[in-house]
Copies of this chain bind each other. A is one copy, B any other.
């Protein structure tokens, strides 16, 4: 069954992931050939710094001209692991034009402009695979695109950024503040020198956009995703969560509205009960829950980043794309037929944990409760606690029932304007029930 003419692969980018891809293509060439039905050959590697020594990659394969590489015309598959919007987008669409299918790990580009890539792939009859773009080695895109293709997904909820999970895990286990935990993450290589994309939630939001689009068969772009990072999560918030039997995680949540007519996608820190499986996801691991009508609740767990895990996802896609190529077929393309609109954050139904500093005198609770009632927000629990000092202040911790985020936000604004409320110490959503 084995054909002998090799399939030619161009690698764009040779950093942490790219070098692992190249290494495994060499060391496991026989396995890949057996699984594909033809050998695969690394035909060129586009890099920015050609002088850097790259063990195991023959110097003659190295080029700085990525465009010429994807235009060669004899390339069967382009693996894009350079990231960012440009030149990645142009290189990918050029690759499609010149006969190649593409395997990409580029979450930012897919979230920003996936539609352009899908359309170009379809126009030229090529494959676009990107398992590595979300949650590293964890099979998630393929299960959503294929395994659950006969089911109706209602919710995707998960931890999709390892850096922030590491930070929150440290804050939870050691009582450290955000800055201290970030420093540790940086020192251990879990956070980049500029951690903005991770800690501000951009990375997770891109993944949420990709997951929501696939799960609900519609188009969701990065701008559609409500995004809050974790830079404002304090040690006090974490302690507060603990007192409630919860921990704090940065969650990506994609939901179909109850009436089925719209979807939402958001990334923000949230308290989840310690009994929830996501609460025990430690260090830089990722885990994603998928809830669907027939399958019920599924969970996928594993390393969400790193060179080797991400390379595993890339190479799984490479095998699939090569098989398709040999069969003269393509895998699933964009599925956005539901055209469900993405609702704004205000329409998301969630719960709030609100910690207030209030005057320590009678009638305050009644006043506060009235504000909640006026906004149609029902209270689940209240914990009132006098401070053991002479400040004349007390703290009031309110956990609400489920209500639209806009009503909850409105409640908080109104609380701020009460004379008896000295300040809103913290607000955090509660999820995972």
Contacts and interface: CB of A to CB of B under 8 A. Distances in A.
> What range describes how many residues of A lie at the interface?
35 or more
A251 interface: no
Nearest to A330: B327
A364 interface: no
Contact of A277 (B301, B308, B311): B301
Contact of A24 (B150, B302, B319): B150
Contact of A150 (B277, B303, B319, B338): B319
Nearest to A144: B139
Contact of A294 (B296, B308, B320): B308
B295 A312 contact: yes
Interface string A137-155: 1110011001111111000
Interface stretch (A28-36, A106-114, A406-414): A28-36
Nearest to A151: B312
A294 B22 CA distance: 13
A299 interface: yes
Identical subunits present:
2
A294 B312 contact: yes
A68 interface: no
A234 interface: no
A315 interface: yes
A292 interface: yes
Interface in A134-182: 137-139, 142-143, 146-152
Interface of A: 20, 24, 28, 31-32, 34-35, 131, 137-139, 142-143, 146-152, 217, 277, 280, 292-303, 306, 308-309, 311-320, 323-324, 327-330, 332, 335, 337-338
A323 B332 CA distance: 8
Contacts of A32: 150
Interface centre among A296, A318, A335 (most CB of B within 10 A): A296
A298 B338 CA distance: 32
A137 B149 CA distance: 12
Contacts of A146: 142, 146, 316, 319-320
B337 A298 contact: no
B149 A319 contact: yes
A298 B137 contact: yes
Nearest to A150: B315
A429 B137 CA distance: 30
A217 B318 CA distance: 18
